[in-house]
Amino acid sequence: MQPSRQLKIYLLILLLQQTNGQNVRSICSPPPSPCDSASKYRSHDGTCNNLEHPKWGASYTIYTRLLPANYADGISAPPVAKDGSPLPLARLVSSTIHPTAPVEDKQLTLNAMQYGQILTHDMGVALNTTPPDFRLDQCCSTSRKLLGPITGSKYCFSIVVPKDDLDFIPIGFECFPFSRTTTDHEYGCGRENESVQQINGHTSFLDLSIIYGANADEGAFLRVLKNGLLKSEHRLGQKWLPRSTNITRDCILGDPKEPCYDGTGDGRVNQNPQLAILQTILLREHNRIADRLGAINPHWDDERTFQEARKIIIGQHQKIVYYDLLPLLIGEDNMKKHKLIYTSKGYVNDYDPTIDPSIINEHAAAAFRYFHTLINGQLNMFNEKRLNEGGIRISDYIVRPLILENRRTSFDDLTRGLATQSMLAADEYISREMTNKFGTQPGDLVGLDLIAICIQRSRDHGLATYNDLRQYCGLPRANCFEDLLDVIRKENIQKLEELYKSPDDIDLLVGGSLEKLVPGARVGKTFLCIITEQFIRTRKGDRFFFENSGDIGFTLSQLREIRKASISRWLCDNTNIKRIQPNSFVQISTENELVDCNDLPLVNLKLWKEW
């Protein structure tokens, strides 16, 4: 690999880890007082959602935990095995546990996987705000040589390549640079003798902070401040996210003229083409609604139009997540059992002010990351007749979204691909694009291992072990590896026994990824428990949730319109697509046939006409 390519991969690592470090305010700041209980709209930073606990769920507050942190020193040192020895290398665990023989899901499209990423980005981003004088190459050089201990500083936690690795060692790679997540201790919060806690840079609510920003200043910057609109640019007959003003920071480019986006509430927008597509759809949908509301209510000023459009699209987003997506991932019966969805035609009003909606660390750094198994490494493009127009390797376009504007039809063709192509199955099998070629450039033989990065991140966050969490979730504690047979297949237990000295050492992310799926869901029992608990908190801890009544809610007739929302209608209204299946999270079939876009239910915005 040429030095220039090495530098590009190194830059990719920096881009993926420098998440939302701008605009950080102290997490130690006191809560706002008093809260304006009469406000009809959410704050950008999530404060005052709960009037008694104004900072619950707010941006720049700490993640919560189901179980105490598992740091080796009780404070911040990465976990070790029960006997004090090092845990198996994250790269070794990835290559052993996750074969690269991907199997396609027989029911769901890539759109389900990709909207899952929208969902998880909306709920959180772990901060990485290392000091200006710190460089990742102090621990692992740009040519991937290990320069010192993997924890050579409190910021460094390099991923070491096993000495017998068949992919990376032959080309001289000894490590991947990796920096640790920012914690409350670095801001002078928390007690010195207590475990560090990571910081969530977004609000914990499903409030689309990825397009509206996670604080008031960022929210104002993203707006036109006229007619309720968000900033956009017009090219190729379409509205696009604004181009980045710092493309060397935000993208890996072959040409400075390539598209590279900014102007969103989330710095990860360029991470992959499909993510950029859905972020663009969200921008277009907000502006479409704002235009319509302005025409219906010409007396509304910019602020009223913006806030009402924001409220509508957040309501639609919450409906799509809870009623259309989550039942496919964690099971419809499970959703009904835990009162996450209802058949009511009226209000639900299940807000509980005693519930803290903050994001659970075990959910963010392990359980929901399991869905990386759903990523398909090949992205296909389809014309209006659903004929395949060719495809691209996702790894070639990580942090490089030029394909979206490569030609006039690329955006629409890739969007049809989202709604047509199968996602991969929920299992231990991972696309090689994710484990060996993540972030490569054309001609590169290897890239990064996303799964090893996720395992390292879960250790960085000091998550409790798999054995601890399976016991928390109602499974018996495993005293020996054979005790795992209740939920893990024998051949996978043998792999775990090769890697770990004790069941008490197994990483949560690893053990949970190997559990047999619960019928009707796409996760095993432990992850189902964690994810379900998170979405109970996310729904019932949100005073502004779309099915709640009162001045902050919708009128009953408006609520009935919000319930008509669908991801398919969003795709139709914001692209040149003419035909689509009613539920584009699900593959086209005789029960989900292609229909004319105009035949899909449309949210009737006339119900928002004031007078």
DSSP assignment of 188-230 equals T-S-TTS---BEESS-SSSS-HHHH-SSHHHHHHTB-SSTTPB
What value does the mean pLDDT take over residues 572-592?
A: 97
Using CA atoms, how far apart are residues 431 and 377, in angstroms rounded to an integer? 6
* pLDDT tier, 18 (very low <50, low <70, confident <90, very high otherwise): very low
Half-sphere exposure of 126 (CA within 13 A, CB side): 23
What is the maximum span of the chain, computed from C-alpha positions, in angstroms? 73
11, pLDDT greater than 70: no
Q: What is the pLDDT of residue 431?
A: 86
580, pLDDT greater than 90: yes
Mean pLDDT of the chain: 91
Other Cβ atoms less than 10 A from the Cβ of 148: the count is 12
**Do 57 and 358 form a contact (C-beta atoms < 8 A)?**
yes
- Which pLDDT tens digit goes with each residue over 588-598? 999 999 999 99
Residue 127's nearest CA partner among 185, 234, 59, 201 is: 201
What value does the mean pLDDT take over residues 15-34?
A: 62
20, pLDDT greater than 50: no
What value does the mean pLDDT take over residues 521-544?
A: 98
Q: Percent helix, strand and coil across the chain, each rounded to 5?
A: 40, 10, 50
SS3 105: strand
Q: What is the pLDDT of residue 436?
A: 78
Q: What is the pLDDT of residue 247?
A: 86
CA 176 vs. chain centroid, Å, equals: 22
Using CA atoms, how far apart are residues 406 and 6, in angstroms rounded to an integer? 25
Torsion region of 144: left, alpha or beta (phi above 0 gives left; psi -120 to 50 gives alpha) = left
Rg, C-alpha atoms of the chain: 23
What value does the mean pLDDT take over residues 524-543?
A: 98
CA-angle at 433, arms to 243 and 257, nearest 5°:
20
Peptide bond into 102 cis (omega under 30): no
Name residues whose C-beta falls within 8 Å of residue 378's C-beta, 6 or more positions apart in sequence: 391, 392, 393, 394, 433
**Do 369 and 117 form a contact (C-beta atoms < 8 A)?**
no
Name which residue leads in pLDDT, 336 or 143: 336
**Do 512 and 97 form a contact (C-beta atoms < 8 A)?**
no
Using CA atoms, how far apart are residues 114 and 102, in angstroms rounded to an integer? 17
Name which residue leads in pLDDT, 15 or 394: 394
551, pLDDT greater than 50: yes
What value does the mean pLDDT take over residues 426-452?
A: 78
463, pLDDT greater than 70: yes
270, pLDDT greater than 50: yes
What value does the mean pLDDT take over residues 158-187?
A: 89
* pLDDT tier, 3 (very low <50, low <70, confident <90, very high otherwise): very low
What value does the mean pLDDT take over residues 121-149?
A: 81
Q: What is the pLDDT of residue 1?
A: 42
Q: What is the pLDDT of residue 407?
A: 78
Residues with active-site annotation: 121
Task: Enumerate long-range contacts of 244-250, CB under 8 Å, 24 or more apart.
Answer: 244/270, 249/15, 249/18, 250/15, 250/399
CA 388 vs. chain centroid, Å, equals: 28
SS3 183: strand
Using CA atoms, how far apart are residues 331 and 356, in angstroms rounded to an integer? 24
Torsion region of 583: left, alpha or beta (phi above 0 gives left; psi -120 to 50 gives alpha) = beta
Residue-wise burial string across 219-258, b where 16 or more C-beta atoms lie within 10 A, e elsewhere? beebbeeebbbbbbeeeeebbbbebbeebeebbbbeeeeb
Using CA atoms, how far apart are residues 230 and 226, in angstroms rounded to an integer? 9
Which helix (DSSP H) or strand (DSSP E) does residue 233 occupy? Answer: strand 233-235
What value does the mean pLDDT take over residues 35-56?
A: 93
21, pLDDT greater than 50: no
Using CA atoms, how far apart are residues 12 and 174, in angstroms rounded to an integer? 17
SS3 530: helix
Other Cβ atoms less than 10 A from the Cβ of 136: the count is 20
Other Cβ atoms less than 10 A from the Cβ of 109: the count is 26
Domains along the chain? Answer: 3-84+87-130+192-449+524-602 (1.10.640.10), 131-178 (no CATH)
Which helix (DSSP H) or strand (DSSP E) does residue 108 occupy? Answer: strand 104-109
**Do 71 and 63 form a contact (C-beta atoms < 8 A)?**
no
- Which pLDDT tens digit goes with each residue over 338-380? 999 999 999 999 999 999 999 999 999 999 999 999 999 899 9
* pLDDT tier, 36 (very low <50, low <70, confident <90, very high otherwise): confident
Task: Enumerate long-range contacts of 484-488, CB under 8 Å, 24 or more apart.
Answer: 484/511, 487/515, 487/516, 487/524, 487/525, 487/526, 488/514, 488/515, 488/516
| Residue 521 DSSP symbol | S
Q: What is the pLDDT of residue 318?
A: 98
SS3 339: coil
22, pLDDT greater than 50: no
26, pLDDT greater than 60: no
178, pLDDT greater than 70: yes
C-alpha distance from residue 491 to each of 373, 484, 504, 505 (Å): 19, 11, 19, 18
Whether residue 372 is annotated as binding a ligand: the answer is yes
Using CA atoms, how far apart are residues 324 and 581, in angstroms rounded to an integer? 14
Using CA atoms, how far apart are residues 377 and 394, in angstroms rounded to an integer? 5
CA-angle at 433, arms to 430 and 439, nearest 5°:
135
Using CA atoms, how far apart are residues 430 and 80, in angstroms rounded to an integer? 26
Q: What is the pLDDT of residue 155?
A: 83
Using CA atoms, how far apart are residues 11 and 14, in angstroms rounded to an integer? 5
- Which pLDDT tens digit goes with each residue over 186-224? 888 878 889 999 999 999 999 999 999 999 999 999 999
Residue 398's nearest CA partner among 279, 277, 273, 280 is: 273
What value does the mean pLDDT take over residues 256-266?
A: 90
Phi, psi of 21 (to 5 degrees): -75, -20
Q: Exposure of 508 by Cβ count < 10 A (0-12 exposed, 13-18 middle, 19+ buried)?
A: buried
Residue 271's nearest CA partner among 20, 521, 511 is: 20
* pLDDT tier, 154 (very low <50, low <70, confident <90, very high otherwise): confident
Tokens standing for 592?
Answer: 């989900």
Tokens standing for 516?
Answer: 């047999």
Q: What is the pLDDT of residue 12?
A: 60
Q: What is the pLDDT of residue 17?
A: 52
Q: What is the pLDDT of residue 149?
A: 66
Q: What is the pLDDT of residue 86?
A: 96
C-alpha distance from residue 458 to each of 129, 201, 428, 474 (Å): 18, 17, 17, 22
72, pLDDT greater than 80: yes
- Which pLDDT tens digit goes with each residue over 389-438? 999 988 888 888 999 998 777 999 999 999 999 999 999 988 888 887 77
515, pLDDT greater than 70: yes
